[in-house]
Chain A
Amino acid sequence: MSVEILEVKSINTYYGNIHAVKNVSFSVNRGEIVTILGSNGAGKTTTLHTISGLLKPTTGQILYSGKNIDQLPAHKITALGLAQSPEGRQIFANLTIKENLDMGAYLRSDKAGIKTDFDFVYALFPKLLDRKNQLAQTLSGGEQQMLAIARAYMSKPNLLLLDEPSLGIAPILVSTIFRAITEINKLGMTILLVEQNANLALKISHRAYVLTNGEVTLSGEARDLLNNPEIKKAYLGH
Chain B
Amino acid sequence: MSQDTIYFFWDCLQYLINGIAQGSLYAIVALGYTMVYGIIRLVNFAHGEFLMLGAFCGYFALKMNLPMPVAIIASMLGAGIVALIVERALYRPIRNEGRIPALITAIGASLFFQYTGQLIFGADPKTVPPVFTEVIFNFGEINVSNIQVFIFILTLFILLFLWWLTRFTKIGVAMRATSYNLKAAELMGINTNRIIAFTFFLGASLSGLAGILMGYTMSVEPMMGMSLGLKAFVAAVVGGIGVIPGAALGGFILGIAENMIAGVYKSSFRDGVSFFILILILLIKPSGILGKNVKEKV
Residues of A within 8 A of B (CB): 52-54, 73-75, 78-79, 83-84, 86, 90-95, 99, 102-104, 106-107, 151-152, 155
Contact = CB atoms under 8 A, between A and B. Distances in A.
A103 B190 contact: yes
B173 A73 contact: no
B177 A103 contact: yes
Interface in B140-182: 170, 173-174, 176-177, 179-181
Contacts of B179: 94
Interface of B: 170, 173-174, 176-177, 179-181, 183-192
B186 A54 contact: yes
B185 A103 contact: yes
A107 B187 contact: no
A78 B181 contact: no
A75 B189 contact: yes
B188 A106 contact: yes
Select the residue from B184, B190, B191 with max chain A CB neighbours within 10 A.
Answer: B184
Contact of B186 (A73, A93, A152): A73
Contacts of B189: 75, 78-79, 106-107, 155
Contact of A92 (B170, B184, B186, B191): B184
Given A90-B184, A103-B185, A107-B188, 15 more contacts: A53-B186, A74-B186, A75-B190, A75-B191, A75-B192, A83-B187, A86-B184, A90-B181, A92-B176, A92-B177, A95-B173, A103-B173, A103-B174, A103-B190, A104-B188
15 contacts: A54-B186, A74-B187, A75-B188, A79-B189, A86-B183, A90-B181, A90-B183, A92-B176, A92-B180, A92-B181, A99-B176, A103-B174, A106-B174, A106-B190, A155-B189
Nearest to A96: B173
B156 to A, nearest CB: 24
B111 to A, nearest CB: 33
Given A86-B183, A90-B181, A155 B176 contact: no
A152 B191 CA distance: 16
Closest 9 CB pairs of A and B: A78-B189, A107-B189, A90-B184, A74-B186, A92-B177, A103-B188, A94-B180, A106-B188, A92-B180
B180 A93 contact: yes
Given A102-B170, A106-B174, A91 B188 contact: no
Select the residue from B180, B186, B188, B191 with max chain A CB neighbours within 10 A.
Answer: B188
A228 B136 CA distance: 88
Given A90-B181, A102-B170, A151 B176 contact: no
A99 B184 CA distance: 14
Contacts of A86: 183-184, 187
A75 B192 CA distance: 8
A151 B184 CA distance: 11
Nearest to A74: B186
A9 to B, nearest CB: 23
Contacts of A74: 183, 186-187
B186 A75 contact: yes
A155 B186 CA distance: 13
A99 B186 CA distance: 16
A78 B187 contact: yes
A214 B288 CA distance: 45
A92 B178 CA distance: 9
Contacts of A107: 188-189
A196 B173 CA distance: 34
Contact of A95 (B176, B183, B186, B190): B176
A48 to B, nearest CB: 10
Contacts of B177: 92, 95, 99, 103
Contacts of B173: 95, 99, 102-103
A176 B225 CA distance: 57
A75 B189 CA distance: 4
A152 B190 CA distance: 13
B77 to A, nearest CB: 27
Contacts of B186: 53-54, 73-75, 78
Nearest to B167: A99
B97 to A, nearest CB: 14
B87 to A, nearest CB: 17
Contacts of A152: 187
A78 B184 contact: no
Nearest to B184: A90
Contact of B170 (A54, A83, A106, A151): A106
Contacts of B184: 86, 90-92
Contacts of A84: 187
